[in-house]
A and B are shown apart, each in its own frame.
Chain A
Amino acid sequence: MPHLRMTGRGLWITVLIVPPLAFVALFIVYPIISAFAYAFFDWQGLRRGDFVGLENFHTVLFVEPYRSWTINAFTHNVIVFFALMVLQNGLGFLLAYALWRELPGARFHRIAVFLPVVLSTIIVAYLFKLFLHPLFGVVNISLRGIGLDWLAQPWLGQGSTALWALIAAQAWHMVGFPTLVFLAGMQRIPGEILDAARMETESEWVKISKIVWPLVAPSATIVFTLLFVGAFNWFELPYIMAGLDGSPYGSTDVLGLYFYRTAFGNVSAGQQDFGLGSALAVLIFIFIAAFATVMTLRLRAREIQV
């Protein structure tokens, strides 16, 4: 009888666990493993051709024009990552610190800073595309209105400002996320530690750099890693604001756009190539996985030291 009961229980557990497991296996694990396999074949449209070894990797890394495209897009991702590190995570930390003091209106400010986060990237991208319109956009209308005509640039239309305009839109969209993660970290700092710190020093800077910042290290680990993965997966916002080619003249091209263009083709360059696309995907994937792991381990080590 106990044996029979165990079997019934085993069956019950199987019934519970197999359907969810099947979804993850079929739609996450299998495609990711396949992505690696795809990269070693020559593809004719949707049809898999011959095994070509590392040729696709060689092409995207060393053969022109792919080589320049890859480097160009990668460089932009690096810029995006560091810029957002300051604009999104840096500002987020500052805002979290301000919210943490529970000044009058803190609740309202907290709701406001997170509001853009719930919006679709597509809405944010179109909104800023309209705002940054050279003639009719509200940004340039305002600049002209306060006499700064020289500053009224075609923000999205020139290579020198386009990527920065996208970064600004992205920071506006997502700054609330690190803000509230940091805030949650600060709220967990024990009151005794803060009281002790207040006895020791008058300086706000010392308190932030020696007490608050080290104690929110776990939050920092998470938002830094998420930003890193996000920055190297960046796609929707540049796709809407700058188009699939990263216009003007590739000045906003990033790995996400480049990968999509290579894999599925676009209106101008028509050609789709699953082999080269998969090679790019694998390289991006390995880069993200390796760097994110190193970053997480180093940041975690910092957490333990404290």
Chain B
Amino acid sequence: MSTAQASYYDRRGIMGTLGRDGLLQIILIANTVLMLAPIIIMVFSAFKTTPQIFQSPFAIPDFTQVANFLKIWNETNFLRYLLNSFVVTGASMVLILTLGTMAAYALGRYAFTGANFILMFFLAGLTLPLKLAIIPLFMLMRDLSILNNQLSLIFVYTAMGLPTTVFIMTGFIRSLPSELEDAARMDGASEARIMWSIMLPLVRPAMVIAGIQNVVPIWNDFFFPLVFIQNDDLKTLPQGLTNFMGEYTTDWGVLFSGLTLSAAPIIIIYIVLSKQFIAGMTSGAVK
């Protein structure tokens, strides 16, 4: 009797677990379909003519039909926008990682008066929504004569990226052991030499995290170019996309291939480095 009862409860337990896990699995599958369907439809549509998109939006296209892409290649400024995005994002990242590592190294490796205050100063920048200061920023860029110049973007992105970078890297640099450093100092190595040859090779993992956390929002940003850049030849990809979408409103095949081309670089990198992306982009929110 008691064994029968026990096995009854066991069975119920297993069935219950299966039922619950089954439900959760269904939720996950449904969500994944919902997440991927828009992206798949976008890519499929990029290889279709506009009438094909209207008639059979879900059909698998003929992937050799690249007329839409050729049109973008030949008729639009798309390549220019892409190149501009690379230049602006690349320059900003170099500045963010260089300056961020410098500040974090000073704050993490040396004890000096005012260090805590300076760290607080950087952290204050972490929470302030800079969009709301766009009017003074606009005036500042005008006074510096870099409106309609990609330097305005590079400077703002650098300033915006520094707080998170300093935050992530200071914690990391602080946690490094000091034996190597002390030994080098005994041997008479200069502080600069210690930083460059001994400590910097060790901070690469933190640089990757800080880099990814910043590179995605910078690459994707639309707001600052909208305000600072007017000249079509200087526009970055998200901003250029708005031009382009306005120009080809009725040619949906071209619109979808434009969106696909814009999304492709980051999607491909994300798929290859998904682990680092997820760690990097949530690192500010995960203690």
Question: How many A residues, CB 8 Å from partner?
Answer: 92
Q: Are B133 and A32 within 8 A (Cβ)?
A: yes
Decide yes or no whether B34 CB sits under 8 A from chain A: yes
Within 8 A of B (CB), among A116-155: 116-123, 126-128, 130-131, 136, 138, 141-142
Question: Are A99 and B133 in contact, CB atoms less than 8 angstroms apart?
Answer: no
Bound form: Cα–Cα A34–B38 in Å: 42
Within 151-171 of A, Cβ neighbours of B (below 8 Å) are at: none
Tell me whether B136 and A38 are in contact (CB under 8 A): yes
Residues of B within 8 A of A17 (CB): 102-103, 106-107, 118
List residues of chain A with CB within 8 A of the CB of B53.
136
**Do A116 and B35 touch across chains, with their CB atoms under 8 A apart?**
yes
Q: Assess the B132–A111 pair: CB atoms within 8 A.
A: no
Question: B22-30, B60-68, B70-78: which one contacts chain A?
Answer: B22-30
A177 to B217, CA, bound (A): 13
Inter-chain contacts of B142 with A (CB < 8 A): 46
C-alpha spacing A6/B52, complex, angstroms: 74
Contacts of A69 in B (CB 8 A): none
A13 with B135: CB separation less than 8 A: no
Most buried by B among A38, A118, A180: A118
Tell me, yes or no, whether A264 is within 8 Å of chain B by CB: yes
Q: Which residues of B contact A278 (CB under 8 A)?
A: 135
Contact partner of B133 (CB less than 8 A), chosen from A20, A35, A176, A222, is A35
> Does A9 lie within 8 Å of B103, measured CB to CB?
no
Question: What would 22 A/B residue contacts be, using CB atoms closer than 8 Å?
Answer: A10-B112, A13-B110, A13-B112, A20-B100, A20-B103, A23-B162, A28-B125, A31-B133, A31-B140, A95-B27, A105-B25, A108-B32, A111-B271, A113-B31, A116-B39, A118-B277, A119-B267, A121-B220, A122-B239, A130-B252, A263-B135, A281-B135
**Additional 14 contacts, C-beta under 8 A, given A119-B266, A176-B35:** A9-B191, A17-B107, A23-B162, A32-B132, A46-B142, A118-B267, A126-B241, A127-B259, A136-B252, A172-B34, A181-B282, A202-B13, A259-B132, A281-B132
Report B's interface with A, CB cutoff 8 A. 13, 16, 20-21, 24-25, 27-29, 31-32, 34-36, 38-39, 41-42, 53-54, 57-58, 95, 99-100, 102-103, 105-107, 110, 112, 118, 121-122, 124-125, 127-137, 139-140, 142, 155-156, 158-160, 162-163, 166, 191-192, 216, 219-220, 222-223, 227, 237-239, 241-242, 245, 252, 255-256, 259, 262-263, 266-267, 270-271, 274, 277-278, 281-282, 285-287
